[in-house]
Each structure stands twice: as C-alpha cells, then as structure tokens.
Structure 1
Amino acid sequence: MWERFALDNERDIRSSAPKEPSARARLVTERLRQEDARQSERASRRIFRRSPPRPAQPEGWRTGPAWREMDGRAARRRRLWAVLGIPLAVAVVVVAMKPSLLPGDPFGSAPDAPAEALPLPVETAAPTAPPSSDGSGTPTLDRPFAGSPAERWADGAAGIVLPKATPVGSLTKEQVDTALDNTKTLLVGANLDPAALRGERPAAAISVLDPRLPGMVHDVNQWLRAPDRKHDPLALFSRFDPDEVRLVGKVVKTRGRITFKEGEDASVAIHADYTFVYPVTPADGNSTEVTRTIVRRVLDIGFSDPRKFQVTPGKVQIRRYSEDIGNSACDVYDGFLHPYFDSTGPSGAPPTGPTVDPYDRSRGVSSSAEGTCGTLSRT
C-alpha cells in the first residue's frame, strides 16, 4: 500500500507540474489575440452596428486546464490518498504481525493439527516399540484405516523411499541405482499392483528377477500355477480371490525401509523390510463390513557385477525372503489371502500360535514357531 501511495503521488506531481505551451499553441493564441484586436477596432468605427461581445473564454481554454486548477485537483487527490493510505498501511502492518485477525485461514496460519493426525516421517531405522494403540475408530468404506496405526502411513508406492545410490565395490553409482530401482519395482509389483492383488500374474515383479538364478523364475511360475503348502506364492506376492473379497478404495498403506551395503562376490546387498495394510470388504457388494489384512515382507536382494559373474545385467536376485501375514485363514494354501470377517466367522484351521501385533515392526519376522498361525491383537 505504501508503494502504491508513493507511485500515485509521483504521478500526480508530474501531471500537475507547470508545462510551457508549445510553439504551435503560442502561435494560435497570438493569432486569436490579433483577430480580437481587429474586431474591436472595426467595432469602434461602426457606431451604427455594434457586434455582440465575444463571450469570455476560460483561462487557457486552448492550452489545457489552468495550472492553478490542476494543482488544486492534485492536492485534493493527495489529501484523499493520505486519508485512505495511512489507515490501510497500518492495517497491513497489524495483519502481518498477527494474521489470525483475518477471518478464515488465508495464509495457512491455523493452529497446527494434532500430532496423531499428521503423516509419519519416513522410517530410517528399526522401531524400538510397537505403535501406540488407537481404538477410537472402526473401519468403514469411507475410512477403511480408521482405528489403525496405518492411517498415518504413506500411500502405496510413495511409502517405498529409496536411499541415495553410491558406488559399492566394483559397481558404479549407476549400477547401484539400477539395483535399487528394480528392488522397488519388485516390491510394488508383488504387493501393490492392482492386477496382482486381484490374483493375476505379477508380471512386473517377475520381470526384474534374474532368470539365471537357479530355479527362481521357474519356481515362481510353478507356485502360481499349482500352489500348495510347500509352493505358496504368498511367500512373495499378496493376492486376493476376486470372487471372495475386493479392496476398499485404491489405497494400500505402506511403511518400511531399504538399506544397502557391499555384499559378497562383487555385489551390492539390498535389505528391504516393509509392511502393507490392505482394507477389504466382501465381494458380493451388499456388505458394508470392512476388515484389514496386514502383510510384512523382508527381502534380501543381490545385484552382482556382470563383468565378473554370469548374471543377467540389470536384473536382481532374491537371496532370502520371509513374511508375516496377519488376518488370513490358517492352513489354507490355494495361493490367496483369506481375510476374516465378523459376519462370516472364521475359515480354515483355528490359530495355534501366540498373540502378536501385526503392526509391531520392532520385532523380528516369523519369531513364533515355524508353521504356526498366531492370534492377532488388532487388525
């Protein structure tokens, strides 16, 4: 406002400054003066015919407003801006010091949201305790993550944040970057791809696996074709039977971390530890009941130097994998996750393992006895 006030004053001062008439204006004025003199002289000689007097012209009528008149208008305008500008400037200063005086929140200066409603920062190290319990909400079709710690987790692939690549051993920064990118592609394709979640073949995830790794791609394809207890595709992929359940919305909550270091045999060793939370509802479309299945996966990925080993350039190798699955039928090995709904009752064998918290990322994976199906403390 002060800047506008100063600019307007400067413009008014320029416009009100005296301006010398141009040569043409002076010539015209002189010609008219002489004409008036001749008319007066003729009129004085003709007593019997008096011409009507020429109406008096305002000062400067052919050369613009009189200087005094212009100066008066400019002065009035400056006085008006002085009356309006000073209060406005004071108001601007007050609002800048205390924006809360304005109605609404035009500058985003509303009080901070409660900490429990803010998204969690990226996980950079293993947690030391399970997340706090929040029993204030029940999952619904509109809020499928209500009452869950995952409500503050990242959405889908946004939760898989890669570390900055650096050279490792004989591998260049670009090669390490490729290994990290392919690890993320594997995680997304195996756990977040909509087609894979509907039970289709997880083609994107399989595409980054090294076919030269003995039995890896062949075994995965066999698991998908004919799953059983010893060949369960759920060991690597999250899949639901589309005739049984459907996902609620398009968001799967994700939390975890990726680290890497120099591995054996001229390779980079990548460690991925992620938990995925899937909100689902019965597939018949008539139910409004919502439950959640929680899957935690830990993968050790290798990426070797193709100049030193017989590996496929750009492909990754799964060296080790383990998983924890929460809220899925026990001892069912058809290649699909089978969530438990209160309205339908349990399916499969009853759980025999200890009670565990599926959101607790501070504990190790598969810490209970192998082959047991634990009871969940929450979903």
Structure 2
Amino acid sequence: MGDPREPPEGAPDGGSGNDDEYRSVVFDESFVRAARIQELSARERLSGSFGRATRPRVRLGPLGTVPRQALALLMLILVAFGAAVYFGVSSPNRQAARPEGSQLTVSLVALSPASAVRPAADPANPFAGLPPGYSDGAIGLGTPAGTATAHFSKVEVTKALDTVQRYLVASSLAPSTLMQGATAEVRSFVTPGEQAQFDGSVTQPVDDRHHALTGWLVRFDPAQVALAADSVKVAGAMRIDEADSGTLQITTDHTFVYALKPAGAPSGAPVTTETVRRQLTFEFDRVDLATAQLRLVDSVLQAGPAPCTVSMAGFLQPVLAGPDGTPPPAPPAVDPGNHSRPAWQVCGVLAGG
C-alpha cells in the first residue's frame, strides 16, 4: 500500500514526497500575528496613491528622469574630465605644437672692394697675410664645453653644441657643399618644420629674406670658381642662451676665409681670398635634441670682395683677382624713393680691400 501521507495521484515529479525539506522553516503564532496585512480599497488601487517600490529619481525637465545614483556618477565623470582638461592645458610640461613654415630670416650683405682686388702673394700659401686667431677648419669654430642652463642639462647643451658644430662643418667647410652643389647633408640637420622652406631655397633661391640658399650654407658657382686650397681658415665663437624655458638657443659668429681661383685654372694661377662672415641663431626643443636636428631662425651673411650688383641668393659671387689685380666694380647708386628695390638689400665696403 502507498504511504498515507502521499496525495492520491502520487508525489509530484522531482519532489521528495514529504515535508522534510520545509521543516526548518517555522512560522509560529507570534510571527503570524505580527505580520501586517493591508488590503487596498478599490479607490486606492485605481488612484495609484500607494507607495512604489522604486528608487528615487530626479526630474530633468524635458529630458525625463534619472536615478539619483546615476546623476551623481555623471557629475563625478564631468568633474574628472574637466580637471583632466584643465591640468592638460595648463601643465608647463605640455609639448606645444612644433613650429612650421618660413621660420628662417636671412640678411645678405655684399662687401664691395674699396680698391683693386690683388691676388695672394704666394699661391701655395694664400693665407699668409691673415691676422692671428685663425685656425684650420673645425678647430677654428671654437666650440665651447657644454654647461647646464636654467632648464637644460649639461648633456642636452653638449648635444646641441655638437649638432651645431657638425652643421657648420657640413654647411661651411665641406667641399661637396662649397663646390659640388650638394645639399642633402645640410638638409638632414634641418627640422621637419623647416624642410619645406629649405627645399624652396634650393629649387628657387631668391633674396626675399626667407629663401636665399646662402642663408643656409656657403656655396660658389663651380662654373666660375674653384678651391685653390684644401683648407679653410676659421675664427669665431658660440654663445649659449635660452629663448624660453623649453627652447635652448645657440648663437654662432664666425669668419671663414676661402682660397679661390678661376674654374679650370692651372696650379699657380692667381689666388683670391674670399672672406665670409656668418652669424647664425639656432633653436632647439627637446624633440630636436633627441633627433640631433636644429632650427635655424636667423642668418646674417657678409661676403667680399663681391659686387653689389649681383644677387647672392643662390651662389656667392666673389670678385676674382687677375695677375695684376682687378679694378673694383662701382657700387650702384641707391634711390630711397625707388620702392621696386627691396630696402633690406645692403652693400658695404670691404675693409682692407
């Protein structure tokens, strides 16, 4: 016979068929009496005035309502985002946008000879008449030892000076630059923001204060002149400054003396010494220092003996000495009322010429 505790139709599927599993839950008489039972009237149920088991919400006008916790989280996100933007913009260490465009300003000054241009007394030793203080090549650059500035370490300053020295060698002393028209090595030192300006100066040099190739480098027309000596004499110095807390500035001021002769002339031909002064201002940020590149922002070049009537934007144009000397070209008269001629084009007189 079946268990009298089972229903006539048998125990439900999956059930145990007894109340053992519910015996631990006991509702005694005191619990039942304490339970509060509220029956809502028909009017209360229809009006919906009974309390809702929902979290409180905040009304946002036409935007509807949102839970208070969500609103608090949203406000926290907005405050954090605003703080991140503020500190990102005002941080002194934030990397500013890097300069681009025509940053280099060039001033070219032709130095006209005051008298006939005479050849060097000894073609084999054309620099014999130079005053003391000149040295051969890079030695004459007088590169100082690196010293820390207010915002740049000794290592950073030393790296900037080394980059400047290598630039000056490539742009003022390398025969491939001086006579063979090479520009790639000099360009490799120029920051990407100035390379378009440099390229424009190579392809279409013009004395507009920004696109004279001779503002970037020294070069002569190989169809007109050739080097008469392997060495170049140099005298000058460098100065270390800061343009601002994030920009290191190196200013160089050097005089280069080149021994030249007519293109294709045999050995023993008259030799002319051409004097070129370059005063350059370089700037570096920390990206430039890391890539060993520089930003040339100002270039002043004086060269002579040179005629005042010929552009020096593409090549320097020396007046070469003949066997018995070459008469100086007459400088042109300047009319201040003639606005077709740029006011910045300057011609001076070469001392001792």
TM-score when normalising by structure 1: 0.53
CA contact (8 A) 1:199 1:336 kept: no
SS across alignment from 2:347: coil
Read off the aligned partner of 1:275 and give its amino acid letter: T
> Does the alignment pair 1:375 with 2:349?
yes
- 1:163-202 correspondence to structure 2 within 5 Å: 163-202=144-183
- Counting only pairs closer than 5 Å after superposition, residues 110-189 of structure 1 correspond to structure 2 as 138-149=120-131, 153-189=134-170
Give the Cα–Cα distance (whole angstroms) in 1 for the partners of residues 299 and 279 of structure 2: 6
SS in 1 for 2:198: helix
> Matches of 1:139 and 1:264 in 2, distance apart?
50
Unaligned runs of 5+ in 1: 1-136, 355-368
Decide whether aligned partners of structure 1 residues 353 and 162 sit closer, same or farther in structure 2, where only a CA change above 3 A counts.
Answer: farther
Offset from partner CA, 1:176-221 (integer Å, 9 cap, x none) = 1111111111111111011000141232222122113xxx221112
Q: Which residue is equivalent to 1:335?
A: 314
Alignment of 1:1-379 (within 5 A): 138-149=120-131, 153-212=134-193, 216-230=194-208, 231-286=211-266, 288-306=269-287, 313-333=291-311, 335-343=314-322, 345=326, 350-352=330-332, 370-379=344-353
How far is the alpha carbon of 1:345 from its aligned partner?
A: 4.7
CA separation of 1:351 and 1:374: change in aligned 2, threshold 3 A: farther
SS in 2 for 1:149: coil
Describe the superposition over 1:280-327 as per-residue Cα deviations: whole angstroms up to 9, x where unpaired.
Answer: 011122461111111111111111134xxx997432111222111111
Count how many residue pairs are aligned between Structure 1 and Structure 2.
221
* RMSD (Å) for aligned C-alpha atoms: 2.8
In structure 2, the residue corresponding to 1:299 is in which secondary structure? strand
Off by >6 Å, runs of 4+ in structure 1: none
* Unaligned segments of structure 2, at least 5 residues: 1-118, 335-342
2:215–2:300: 8 Å Cα contact kept in structure 1?
A: yes
Partners of 1:245 and 1:196 lie apart in 2 by 14
Matched letter for residue 339 of structure 1:
P
Partner AA of 1:147 in structure 2: G
- Contact persistence 1:233–1:335 (CA under 8 A): yes
TM-score by length of 2: 0.56
- Partner Cα distance (1:163, 1:311) in 2: 17
- Structure 2 counterpart of 1:341, which letter? L
Which has more strand, going by share of residues?
2
Q: Residue 129 of structure 1 corresponds to which residue in structure 2?
A: none
Quick check: 1:209–1:317 contact (8 Å CA) kept in 2?
Answer: yes
Whether the aligned pair in 2 keeps the contact of 1:352 and 1:372 (CA below 8 Å) is: no
Letter in 2 for 1:244: Q
User: 1:353: Cα distance to partner?
Assistant: 8.8
2:346 is paired with a residue of what secondary structure?
coil
Measure, in 2, the Cα distance between the counterparts of 1:375 and 1:261: 32
Secondary structure class of the residue paired with 1:375: strand
The structure with the largest helix share of the pair is 1
Distance 1:331 1:191 in 2: 24
CA displacement at 1:240 relative to structure 2: 1.0
Does the C-alpha gap of structure 1 residues 229 and 261 become closer, same or farther in structure 2, counting only changes over 3 Å?
closer
Q: Is the 8 A contact 1:169 1:266 kept in 2?
A: no
**1:158 to partner: Cα distance:** 1.1
Rounded Cα–Cα distance in structure 1 between residues aligned with 2:188 and 2:348: 33
Which structure's CA Rg is the greater one? 2
- Identify which of structures 1 and 2 has the higher relative contact order when contacts are C-alpha pairs closer than 8 Å and 6+ apart: 2
Q: 1:234 to 1:325 in 2, by over 3 A?
A: same
